[in-house]
Structure formats: C-alpha cells, structure tokens
A = this chain, B = another copy of it.
C-alpha cells in the first residue's frame, strides 16, 4: 500500500501540488471502491460523508427535477464528485451514477479539510475546479433552455465526441430515455432526431454505435441554423 497514491497514474490537478508526505497520508486516508454500470456512487438525499474522486471511468451527475430525472452532465475521470455537496450542504443535492465500470477513491473529509487548510496550492486548485464548473453550468443551462431539441442533441453528440470519448466514433453511453433527460426532451424525440441526423448523412448509426460523419453540419445545427 505504500506509495499507493504517490504512484497513482490518475491524479487530480489539486493532488499534483502535494508532496511525498501528503501522499503518504492520503494513502492511509482513502479507500478505493469499484462500481459497475448503473450503480449509485452518490445518492441524492443521503448524507455526504466522504470526498469522492472518480479515478477511472465515466459517471453521470443527475438530480430529481420537478417532473422527471434530469442528467446534469456526464463526467470523466479524473474528477472530484460531489465537492459542492460536501462543503455546501451536508445532504447530497444530486446523485452520481456509474456509466461504465468505474473506480472511486473515497477520501476522509477531515483529512481533506486538513489539506485545504495547510496546502494553499491544493486549495487553490480546488477553487479553480469549482469556478470552471460554475461557468460551464451557466452556459450549459442557457443553451439548454434556449435551443431547441435538435441543437441540444447536436451539442451532446459533440460533447461526447470531443470531450468524453475523444473520437468521432463512439457508443452512446446510455439509452434514449436517459438521453432525453440530458437534453430535456422525450425519448421519442431523441429517436426521431437521431434517425433524422442519420438520414441526412450527418451521423452513421447502428444500435448505439455512432460515427459523426459531418461534424460541420452538426456544429451548424448546434449553433441553431
């Protein structure tokens, strides 16, 4: 177990500011847990007791909206999960669910607090991460409410391709009903519009496998032509 964290290949930016001694403590103050597809990592409404760090895999952040479950975003390792909850509120305000097989490090809050307290560089990196998230959330929210469904679906495809899978070819990480929750539409609209994109030669689709053939068009649709 010695040097477990020091030698970890998937560190957060904040963790990279730490020294060998911190890593030593970190190793003894965390537990790594595997979750398989569909398992709840953080559950809305329960008490938040640890800091969760997504070490590998994909997860979705989602919350119960007034009428249905809304997926806020899809995140990819390495990233902290549920930081805002741990500090802003003791009760989780949203859920985090594994999209594929994931590894999560649960870090003792007291120890994490100690790092924040004693390591200003660490603390500053956490601030940066929170700031970036907030900005992203603002524009994501403005887009979702203002664009119509076609544009939002285009956005999701581009996000998956550019940021999550980093390839023009990928497999949709969820079913159409969930995609609806991510884009704020009905399952049926997702089906229709994906079919439309395929018919128009913008994507190629077989089952959940998608290849973006005409990224330009997709971007145009995203910008709402």
Contact = CB atoms under 8 A, between A and B. Distances in A.
Interface of A: 63, 65-68, 70, 72, 83-89, 93-94, 116-118, 120, 123-124, 126-128, 130-135, 137-147, 151, 184, 223-224
A44 to B, nearest CB: 11
A138 B63 contact: yes
A137 B141 contact: yes
13 contacts: A63-B142, A65-B143, A66-B142, A66-B143, A66-B223, A66-B224, A84-B135, A88-B135, A93-B138, A126-B127, A130-B130, A141-B144, A146-B184
How would you classify the secondary structure of chain A's contact residues: helix, strand, loop or mixed?
A: helix
B66 A132 contact: no
Contact of A142 (B70, B85, B130, B131): B70
B127 A68 contact: no
Contacts of A117: 120, 124
A130 B138 CA distance: 13
